[in-house]
A and B are shown apart, each in its own frame.
Chain A
């Protein structure tokens, strides 16, 4: 049997290549996701290792990687003096570090900025646990006083600055932008680069003057051990010296903890990418099931002959599975290679948006290889299992039969199973709506999955009227060629359905995301229109915080009636994260309409919070209850003073508190938004001009009116949507390959018929157009099913998450119509190769093939 299997594989190189292709793409996505996140992890690990000294001292609870809102706590400089007295300490150095210091390039654009941090710190001259100096001077000198800075080489390079230039910086403090002389360039110790982060080195005294109100304090203290002293010994010694509320850890522990935190974030990226890999694999599965189904059908006579010659059912069955195994193995191998390329592509892409992985090499871990092979081979074999079982059931007598046919499951049974799944899915969704939070979403998600599978099973039956409808159009436009194309797509309903289903899955998700995106945009419009009374908004396009100095300066502008700052942060509520907004309750009414449902806005003080309705109900909290929010600096108790509606407002986080409440919780005062209301008589143009002048030096913080603000918000949604489209695009590519594959196999199968058609006078162009029309029919069927399901899912999901701020349903009909038209185009594209193959067939050979 093995020789037969091998012969088969070799004899069907093209078919093999086509079916392996689905695996290649799916595995490439899986491998690429892992390779990319591993490399990212490596780069970060390099940074962590390269910045951590033997013993690290920070305020207790600081240094959480996923903290949003900056910890304002510091350690007095006197602690450094105490630590220096320890005999085990070779070197002790305090670092005063500030986040949110960005370099403005010579071109006036922000360097990095779109995610990676902009760090400012004093030079400590420390050595890392890797044994290298954390920073080395590459050029010029270190800053020795006010007005001087050094930059990391990469940042200076991107910004276009040379030593001696005047550098413009954006800061989170006061003043919000400043100029300094570039006196030197530093190199960062780790070879992985800084992952896009920028380093600005200040003189110690100056950084404390600028950002720490001149206090002699540090945000962290690093120590190196003396010869013969271990990290643990020095840590234990240091613990006896430091004041309460300060935490001492060995460099190894500190690095491990930081890496863990980073790994958690990277895990999200990995999961996010793997979700799309899974979608690609699912679509690939359709392809493989179909390909093997067709191969088995085409080989039924040969299989029957094997059976007649004495091969057992299991042997035949296994020979097909063995074929699948080899295909899976081959596909996975190539897939891993392609994944490597994909990861490099992702790296380049992230480089473009500012996350520079530097020289960090691509990391191919054994785990990646194993997972890729397991996924590739298992999926292929699973997908081939049903066709293989069918192959085993070919009765030996079929060998004598001219039109040997593999027994297929009846369409009726498929329709029943599919229908059952759809009903079950609808029921799951129904139950989902009675639950809340994650349970609700999981149930709805499971329901969607059941419906998706159900519809793809039933597609063989429900697709028929669609194809027939298209057929009527084809008949009118293309005559006999159209009739033939229609009949061809109808002759093998399962095959057509499976091929179309692959596209359906992709388009369902694309449609779903489009509807959610459109709804989110409509909801944004509504929220801004209905609840925002302020005429102007200052926001940061990159989502970074900005200096509160802006709010103060804008308040001085003639014609400005009020400025309402909004700050955001997160805190732990129990085991989960709660998102907070802070603002000034007295100025709130002038800028925002906030219809408080229970309690009163007036009772919001530094020790109380307002809670969002949906959070209140899922956490079972009511007005008057106490909640404990845990910040890096520690837990703080708040009394719930009121409840605001979940959707449709400008305030949409879990909790709303006062600016003072947030500062008292240990979060640095930094603004995310300013809502500006002007005096009724003031000219908007004049006010805008005055504010623009204040913001002139900072390219990211800009002033806009309500419409521009809405556009900015919607632009973010669009960006996200385009990323999703790009990732789902892969599933669509696989589906297109599926159509190509099915058609190519059909062409092989129908060689004789094509020969006949050509013999009785069908031209090459007509033949090509016949195959194109068939392909288009499959693609349009898939697109219509996908768009229809996507609309249903989109509506359901929008309803389910209406409470989370997407309370307006908007269906982008034009866009959906474009999808269907594009799908038809995809059909034309998918047909290119099979059509060319068919047209090139030698008429005589075709007509005389066996």
Chain B
């Protein structure tokens, strides 16, 4: 298992600060009888320099959590903290700036602007901000995602895996506080998926990047340091140094026996 060998248990990294925190966030949609509670009083910390997986059955609120954490959506109640900024009451301008400077994204699909070349896509958040990446850092990221010879290509000329690598490169280039990835390998075959996952793993290990990834795939989860399990909008469990076997067991258990009671808040190392 590459994940277990490459990862270092978080307990042995003392003094880690959280790069992103959710403090008792609830997100509901609709009202009255149509009320849907996508997130139900969720508190969770994502530690700096750690690779975290968020897992759970379909509809459990993973994407919602991700969107709230990434300043794309606002929780109905509760607080989200990114780095040292609390998101409460920030206006669109501030949120935009936050997304640009502190957050990186990798979506499942449609990650790239079709009219821009791979390189332009990678540089997009920085160029929007009117900044340029350090050339040496740019080279490092590009060689890490292995896109050296594809920089001048447009997304339509790239394979799905290559497109996701461009997206991953884009997410990393501005050295954001956190990279959020929502099923980044969902549309890829296993070898292309593995490439992305290895890249994400490397950026955590070598560059100290913080990454939060939603996935359905136990194999993907095994690349991470920690898995947080969601069910019905609540965090029901978490697992350190996951292996695909243990994750698979946990997942099948979750889908067979949905928890009747709210789970206690997940303890984090700092608590």
User: Hey, what's the 0/1 contact readout for A448-491 against B, CB within 8 Å counting as 1?
Assistant: 00000000000000000000000000000001110110011011
Are B116 and A760 interface neighbours, CB within 8 A? no
| Residues of B close to A481: CB separation below 8 A | 128
Q: B129 — which chain A residues lie within 8 A by C-beta? A: 761
Whether B96 pairs with A479 at a CB distance below 8 angstroms is: no
| Cβ of A54 to closest chain B Cβ, rounded Å | 79
Given A761-B125, A766-B128: A487 touches B72 (CB 8 Å cut-off): no
A488 (CB) vs chain B CBs: closest residue: B115
| B127 adjacent to A763 (CB under 8 Å) | no
Chain B residues in 8 Å Cβ range of A843 = 72
Interface flags, A652-683, vs B, CB<8A=1, else 0 = 00000000000000000000000000000000
Question: On chain A, which size bracket covers the interface?
Answer: 20 to 34
B13 sits at the interface (CB 8 A) = no
Is A572 positioned at the interface, with any CB of B under 8 Å from its CB?
no
Question: A844–B73 contact, CB under 8 A?
Answer: yes
Choose among A756, A759, A760, A764 the residue with the greatest number of B CB atoms under 10 Å from its CB.
A760
- In the complex, the chain A residue whose C-beta lies closest to that of B115 is A487
The reply to whether the CB of A796 lies closer than 8 angstroms to some CB of chain B is: no
A774 to nearest B CB, angstroms?
11
Q: Does B101 contact A (CB under 8 A)?
A: yes
Contact A764 B110 (CB under 8 A): no
- B172 sits at the interface (CB 8 A): no
Indicate whether B113 reaches chain A with its CB closer than 8 angstroms. Answer: yes
Q: Is B96 within 8 A of A764, CB to CB?
A: yes
- With A756-B111, A759-B72 as known contacts, state yes or no: A483 contacts B116, CB within 8 Å: yes
Nearest CB in chain B: distance from A75 CB, A: 82
Identify which of A760, A764, A844 contacts B124 (C-beta below 8 A): A760
Using an 8 Å CB-CB cutoff, how does the interface string of B114-157 with A read, 1 for contact, 0 for none? Answer: 11100010011101111000000000000000000000000000
Look across to chain B and name the residue whose beta carbon is closest to the beta carbon of A481. B128
Residues of A contacting B96 in the complex (Cβ-Cβ under 8 angstroms): 758, 761-764
CB pair A761 B101 closer than 8 Å: yes
Residue from the list B72, B93, B101, B130 in contact with A847, Cβ < 8 A = B72
**Contact at A480–B128, with CB atoms within 8 Å?**
yes
Say whether A752 faces chain B, with CB atoms less than 8 Å apart.
yes
Q: Which residue of B lies closest to A752 (CB)?
A: B110
- B67 at the binding interface (Cβ < 8 Å): yes
Within the complex, the shortest CB–CB distance from A818 to chain B, in Å, comes to 32
Partner of A491, one of B67, B115, B127: B115
- Interchain CB contact under 8 A, A763 and B93: yes
**Known contacts being A483-B116, A491-B114, A761-B100, is A847 close to B107, with CB within 8 Å?**
yes
Contacts of B240 in A (CB 8 A): none
Taking a contact as CB atoms under 8 Å apart, the answer to whether A844 and B115 are in contact is: no
User: What is the bound-complex CA distance between A753 and B113, given in angstroms?
Assistant: 6
CA distance A43 to B65 in the complex (A): 74
Question: Looking at the complex, which one of B110, B116, B123, B127 makes contact with A487 (CB distance below 8 Å)?
Answer: B116
Q: CB of B229 within 8 A of chain A?
A: no
- Chain A residues contacting B123 (CB-CB under 8 Å) are 480
Q: How far is the CB of B147 from chain A (nearest CB, A)?
A: 17
A766 to B100, CA, bound (A): 13
Most buried by A among B96, B99, B100, B170: B96
Minimal Cβ-Cβ distance residue in A for B110: A752
User: For the complex, is A346 an interface residue (Cβ under 8 Å from B)?
Assistant: no
Is the CB of B92 closer than 8 A to any CB of chain A?
yes
B110 touching A756, Cβ below 8 Å: yes
Question: How far apart sit A305 and B231, CA to CA, in the bound complex (Å)?
Answer: 36
Q: Are A757 and B99 in contact (CB under 8 A)?
A: no
- Residue-by-residue, is A517-551 near B (CB-CB < 8 Å gives 1, otherwise 0)? 00000000000000000000000000000000000
In the complex, the answer to whether A480 meets B124 with C-beta atoms within 8 Å is yes
CA distance A334 to B103 in the complex (A): 50
Contacts A761-B99, A761-B128, A844-B72; A483 near B114 (Cβ below 8 A): no
A348–B232 CA distance with the chains assembled, in angstroms: 69
Cα–Cα distance between A764 and B95 once the two chains are bound (Å): 11
Chain A 739-767 residues near chain B, CB threshold 8 A:
752-753, 756-764, 766
Q: Closest Cβ of chain B: how far from A841's Cβ, in Å?
A: 11
> What separation, in Å, do the CA atoms of A481 and B113 have in the docked complex?
12
Distance between Cα atoms of A694 and B174 in the complex (Å): 86
- Residue B105 lies at the interface, judged by CB distance under 8 Å to chain A: yes
Chain A residue numbers with a CB within 8 Å of B246 are none
Task: Give B64's nearest chain A residue, CB to CB.
Answer: A844
Cβ–Cβ < 8 Å partners of B73 in chain A: 844
Which residue on A lies nearest to B171, using beta carbons?
Answer: A760
The chain B residue with its CB closest to the CB of A760 is B125
**Pair B100/A760 contact, Cβ less than 8 Å:** yes
- In the complex, which residues of chain B have a beta carbon less than 8 angstroms from the beta carbon of A487? 115-116
Q: B97 at interface (Cβ–Cβ under 8 A)?
A: yes
CA distance A752 to B116 in the complex (A): 15
**Chain A: CB-nearest residue to B93:** A763
Do B114 and A760 touch across chains, with their CB atoms under 8 A apart? no
| Most chain A CB within a 10 A radius of its CB, from B70, B120, B124 | B124
Q: Quick one: given A488-B115, A491-B114, are A759 and B93 in contact (CB under 8 Å)?
A: no
User: Are B97 and A761 neighbours in the complex by a CB distance under 8 Å?
Assistant: yes
Q: Are A762 and B115 in contact (CB under 8 A)?
A: no
Residues of A with C-beta under 8 A to B125: 760-761
Q: Is the CB of B107 within 8 A of A760?
A: no
Alpha-carbon gap, A481 to B124, bound state (A) = 10
B120 engages A760 (CB within 8 Å): no
CB within 8 Å of B: which of A487-525? Answer: 487-488, 490-491
- Do the beta carbons of B113 and A484 come within 8 Å of each other? yes
Which residues in chain A, 827-850, are within 8 Å of chain B measured between CB atoms? 843-844, 847
Bound-complex Cα distance A216 to B249 (A): 124
Q: Which of A479, A762, A766 has the most CB of B within 10 A?
A: A762
A764 vs B128: C-alpha distance in the bound complex, in angstroms? 12
Query: Within the complex, what minimum Cβ distance (angstroms) separates B73 from chain A?
Result: 5
Q: Give chain B interface residues in 57-103, CB to chain A under 8 Å.
A: 67, 70, 72-73, 92-93, 96-97, 99-101
**Beyond A760-B100, A760-B170, is A483–B120 a contact (Cβ under 8 Å)?**
yes
CB distance from A805 to the nearest CB of B (A): 53
Chain B residues with Cβ under 8 A from A760's Cβ? 99-100, 105, 124-125, 128, 170
The A742-798 residues at the B interface (CB cut-off 8 A) are 752-753, 756-764, 766
Chain B residues lying within 8 Å of A759, measured Cβ to Cβ, are 70, 72, 99, 105
Contact of B105 with A757 in the complex, beta carbons under 8 Å: no
- Measured CB to CB, the nearest residue on chain B to A403 is B156
B188, chain A: closest CB distance, angstroms: 15
Tell me how far the C-beta of A209 lies from the nearest C-beta in chain B, rounded to whole angstroms: 85
Residues of B within 8 A of A752 (CB): 110
**A749 CA to B32 CA in the complex, in Å?**
33
Is A484 a contact partner of B115 (Cβ separation < 8 A)?
yes
Which residues on B sit within 8 Å (CB–CB) of A847?
72, 107
Q: Which residue of B lies closest to A763 (CB)?
A: B96
Task: Please measure, in the bound complex, the distance between the C-alpha atom of A342 and the C-alpha atom of B53, giving whole angstroms.
Answer: 65
- Rounded to whole angstroms, the CA-CA distance of A479 and B127 in the bound complex is 7
Which of B92, B93, B110, B130 has a CB less than 8 Å from the CB of A479? Answer: B130
CA distance A844 to B105 in the complex (A): 13
Known interface pairs A480-B127, A764-B96. Does A844 touch B67 (Cβ–Cβ under 8 Å)?
A: yes
Roughly how many angstroms separate A760 CA and B129 CA in the complex, as a whole number? 10
Question: Whole-angstrom distance between the alpha carbons of A793 and B114 in the complex?
Answer: 40
Interface residues of A (CB under 8 A from B): 479-481, 483-484, 487-488, 490-491, 752-753, 756-764, 766, 843-844, 847
Query: Which 7 residue pairs across A and B have the least CB separation, nearest first?
Result: A761-B100, A487-B115, A480-B127, A760-B125, A763-B96, A844-B72, A761-B125
24 chain-A/chain-B pairs, Cβ below 8 angstroms: A479-B130, A480-B120, A484-B116, A488-B115, A490-B115, A491-B114, A753-B113, A756-B112, A756-B113, A758-B99, A759-B72, A760-B100, A760-B124, A760-B170, A761-B100, A761-B125, A761-B128, A761-B129, A762-B96, A762-B100, A762-B128, A763-B128, A764-B92, A844-B67
Q: A487-B116, A760-B99 are in contact. List 8 more A-B contacts (CB 8 A).
A: A480-B128, A756-B113, A759-B99, A761-B97, A761-B128, A761-B129, A763-B96, A844-B72
B contact set with A: CB distance below 8 Å = 67, 70, 72-73, 92-93, 96-97, 99-101, 105, 107, 110-116, 120, 123-125, 127-130, 170
